[in-house]
Structure 1
Amino acid sequence: MTCKSHKKKDFLAKIFAKPNQTVATIILLMAGIAAIARWYIFHIELKYNLILSLISLIVLSSTWFFFRWLYSYFDKIMPYDRGIVRRLVLQILVSLVFVLIVTRVVFLIGSSFIVFQTTIARESTNLAQLAGISSEILLVFLLNLAHFSYYSLQQWRENELRASNLEKEKSQVQFDNLKNQLNPHFLFNSLTSLDSLIHENPALASDFLRQLSRVFRYVLQSKEKGLVNLETELHFIKNYIALLQTRFGDSLKIVFGISKEALDLQIAPVTLQILIENALKHNIANQHTPLIIKIFNEDNCLIIENPIQLKKQVETSNGQGLTNLISLYSFLSDKEVIIEQTEVFRVKIPLI
């Protein structure tokens, strides 16, 4: 949907946000226009014009109350989704008959109390009668159009909300899948490292196992959480980095620059793990070309950047990590996840 159509919907939403005030304004406006037309076109005297204006207000108000009842009744027995054309045609016919009847009845009652038959005889020309009937038909069409527009707006709102909720649920499910899998390659490599450490350095193997258990405990504990504070995420990521450095050694360097003020701000769980994993997946990390990943905060954003030193061949990936992260944050924050690629690859995550 274009920006222009969104503005149109927002405009309609404002109009129909207070329907009673809107209708009262329309009724007064129509009665005023009719009074001006009677004075300017038919030159009706002021006192008679006031009487006719009062009759107009009574007709318009009673018509509106009748329409509210009629629409409510039709909503129960003949909703729009069962046939819009049939509903509108029947609705227009019934409301038009009501307007024609109530106009005549009110006019007859009014003229019996106040004598201005001479004026009626003089002004009740074919043109005047045609103008009166035309205004009544126009009133009916306008009321039905307004009601159908209101119905359409409500349907649009519900569909937009439903679509937004479905997208959010989809993004959350995809992100949960990322958290649950925690990269099988990482688990395999960690277990391989643990196997070799058990024989070479049992004490280090024991420490490695504790860190591995902390990593997976965090993933399990954060499974039901939408957000965690940055300090908690940093505790987790430091355990994760310790496991990585058992494998990479000096080939991987992580530099932190997080201010104390940012520690209480929130972030989606395992965001840093996904971004570090993404950097290792696509970039060379060895003794000759160590991979240096910087993690720091700036302007309520967490920034993760690394030099671009791409591998010739990237390990198998579905390429959904960053995509799902961007989608999730679009629901968590008004700010977007920003990806920049110059001399370095930089991702800016909004802190919430």
Structure 2
Amino acid sequence: MKEKILSFLLATLLSACLAGYLFYHVGLISWMGQASLFQWTILIGITSCAGLLISQGYSFIIKILPWDKGHATRSFALLVVLAGVLTSYAILLDSIVTDWLVGFDEISDTLSGSLAVKGALVSLILSLLIIWIDYSWFAFARYSKETIHRLRDARNKKELQFNLLRSQLTPHFLFNSLNTASHLVSIHPDQAEEFIRKLAFNFTNLLRNGIQPLNTLGRELEIIDNYMHLMKVRYGEKVILEKRIKVGAESNFLPALGIQLLVENALKHNVASLEYPVKIIITADQGQVAVTNSLTHPPEIVESTGTGQRNLRERYLHYGRLAPSVSQTGGFYEVRLPYVTKPEMT
């Protein structure tokens, strides 16, 4: 209700300003001081009627013709309403005032329809100005909405990175690594020292890449090499890693730590033994990366919530890419990771 009243007052003020400008331009300001109460009542009445028509017409148009559904249609409709009402108001003023000025020969001779002509021209200019202001307000509101959307998008990206970091820094992995290090200290001190250095490097990379959305394939393979050194100390020949990387593929981008996640899952969901080792093959060309692992048999107890792979799928959707594809044939489990192109990582 308040908006309707405000709209009416603004439209009436616009009509009054148009009348004041026209009266001033044709030299009727001095005559207005001599106008009777009846004449002032008529002027205020028709000015209020013009304001009411403008406010009601404007409200109807913005309700049925939003800017995002047709700029030209809405602009034309607003122009018809605003210019039409204001021009009609100017013509009515010209007719009424001309009748009132009978006997004022000097003023009536100079008037002779000028209110209508000048009123039509000024009405057109005012209408175009109002339409421009209305569209500028819409454009500003749309820009603000898009800015808020980008900020939310950036916040979601940070949340995805945090979830990635949380899914990777698991107490289970740290506990097993420390147990392995403790065992090596008493049996192979030299290997223990190297294992601890590699473990520290692995966690340093993990923390650093927790705030980086993407890595090159080359960087991901470097992280895998350090991670597999830890796993080799733990599993020995029970785990086999094979890399088939085509020349030039290492410069492509992937979600950070995506390959390590799949390698961890391969070791988590399969029992590795000398008789049935877990073989992991990383294949990469210019189109995608495939991480394949052999299937032995699952462990009796597997602590898995699926957070890691779900987070990986969400990150691909965040960058507007297809989700990783999964297949299982011939005793092998394979996950294919498409690359994320460099322009999409911003």
TM-score (norm 1): 0.57
1:105 aligns with one of 80, 86, 90? 90
Give the percent of matched residue pairs that are identical in Structure 1 and Structure 2: 24
2:324 aligns with one of 332, 338, 346? 338
Matching of residue 176 in structure 1 with residue 155 in structure 2: no
Report the equivalent of 1:261: 248
**CA 1:269–1:60 in structure 2 vs 1: closer, same or farther (change >3 Å)?**
closer
Describe the superposition over 1:163-185 as per-residue Cα deviations: whole angstroms up to 9, x where unpaired: 64554343222113224x1x322
Report the equivalent of 1:203: 190
Q: Secondary structure at the match of 2:281?
A: strand
Deviation at 1:102, TM superposition (A): 3.7
Contact 1:337 1:348 in 2 (8 A): no
Q: Calculate the aligned-residue CA RMSD, in Å.
A: 3.8
Distance 2:252 2:262 in 1: 18
Distance 1:157 1:218 in 2: 34
Equivalent position amino acid for 1:346 in 2? E
**CA 1:255–1:15 in structure 2 vs 1: closer, same or farther (change >3 Å)?**
farther
Report the equivalent of 2:79: 60
Deviation at 1:150, TM superposition (A): 8.4
**CA 1:341–1:154 in structure 2 vs 1: closer, same or farther (change >3 Å)?**
same
Contact 1:254 1:294 in 2 (8 A): yes
Deviation at 1:207, TM superposition (A): 1.6
Deviation at 1:26, TM superposition (A): 5.2
Distance 2:188 2:298 in 1: 32
Distance 2:67 2:159 in 1: 30
**CA 1:106–1:168 in structure 2 vs 1: closer, same or farther (change >3 Å)?**
farther
Q: Secondary structure at the match of 1:341?
A: strand
Q: Which has the larger radius of gyration?
A: 2
**CA 1:255–1:158 in structure 2 vs 1: closer, same or farther (change >3 Å)?**
same
Q: Secondary structure at the match of 2:326?
A: strand
Deviation at 1:300, TM superposition (A): 2.5
Deviation at 1:238, TM superposition (A): 0.5
Report the equivalent of 2:298: 311
Deviation at 1:257, TM superposition (A): 0.8
Deviation at 1:154, TM superposition (A): 7.4
Distance 1:338 1:13 in 2: 36
Contact 1:274 1:321 in 2 (8 A): yes
Report the equivalent of 2:267: 280
How many residues of Structure 1 are paired with residues of Structure 2 in the alignment? 241
Q: Secondary structure at the match of 1:315?
A: coil
Q: What pairs up with 1:133-282 in 2 under 5 angstroms?
A: 164-179=153-168, 181=169, 183-282=170-269
Describe the superposition over 1:137-166 as per-residue Cα deviations: whole angstroms up to 9, x where unpaired: xxxxxx9xx989989977976776566455
Equivalent position amino acid for 1:213 in 2? A
Report the equivalent of 1:325: 312
Contact 1:304 1:347 in 2 (8 A): yes
Report the equivalent of 2:59: none
**More displaced, 241-250 or 282-291?**
282-291
Contact 2:270 2:295 in 1 (8 A): yes
Equivalent position amino acid for 2:159 in 1? K
Distance 2:271 2:338 in 1: 28
**CA 1:285–1:15 in structure 2 vs 1: closer, same or farther (change >3 Å)?**
farther
Contact 2:161 2:211 in 1 (8 A): no
Deviation at 1:229, TM superposition (A): 1.9
**CA 1:184–1:101 in structure 2 vs 1: closer, same or farther (change >3 Å)?**
same
Distance 1:194 1:165 in 2: 39
Distance 1:314 1:14 in 2: 58
Distance 1:111 1:159 in 2: 56
**CA 1:338–1:270 in structure 2 vs 1: closer, same or farther (change >3 Å)?**
closer
